[in-house]
Structure 1
Amino acid sequence: MDRARPRTARSALSSAGSRLGQRLLAWVEARAAERRAAFVRLDCATDNPSLRRFYEQQGFRHVRDVTVTAFGGGRQLASSLYERELGLGPWGA
């Protein structure tokens, strides 16, 4: 396996200031390393500038924006894809 992608990682506003986001990313990175992944890849809604900025501040690189169809052929969703090579983030190797 050369990459790992968490299904969904969301935090409540009540967790602001607790570094929950950084701790979740560190946990994801550890699980990816156990699986010998070379990258961690994340996605988020394109229209979520706060989350996009957070990912970039954590060392993730914007790869591209895509449009995907929701399960069951429902609505179209704009998604931004990010990746970070393992061992290069602000929280350490």
Structure 2
Amino acid sequence: MDVGDHYCSTRRALLGIDSAELYKNSELCSMYAAVMFLSVENSSAVQRIISIERTVFYRKRAAGMYSALPYAFGKVQIHIPRWIGTDSFKILETF
């Protein structure tokens, strides 16, 4: 054991700091940072697709092809099978 290690452990003991609690918080912070990083990366990948869809929607709406309500209804209707599939997989995975 190094003198510095002894000093730190003594100091932690005097302050009432639990090293295991510090390491647990450090692991949680690392996991949180990793999840946030992956979320931002995934959302930036999807953002390009959404911007293209938005451009197409604006162009077709300006041409008078359809209004916003049927477009929004169609977008929701397309995603329903995916929602059912992912939810059923989560339910089966849980039980």
* TM-score normalised to structure 2 length: 0.23
Q: Which has the larger share of helix? A: 2
Q: Which has the higher strand share?
A: 1
The structure with the larger Rg is 2
TM-score, normalisation: structure 1: 0.24
Q: Which has the higher contact order (CA 8 A, sep 6+)?
A: 1
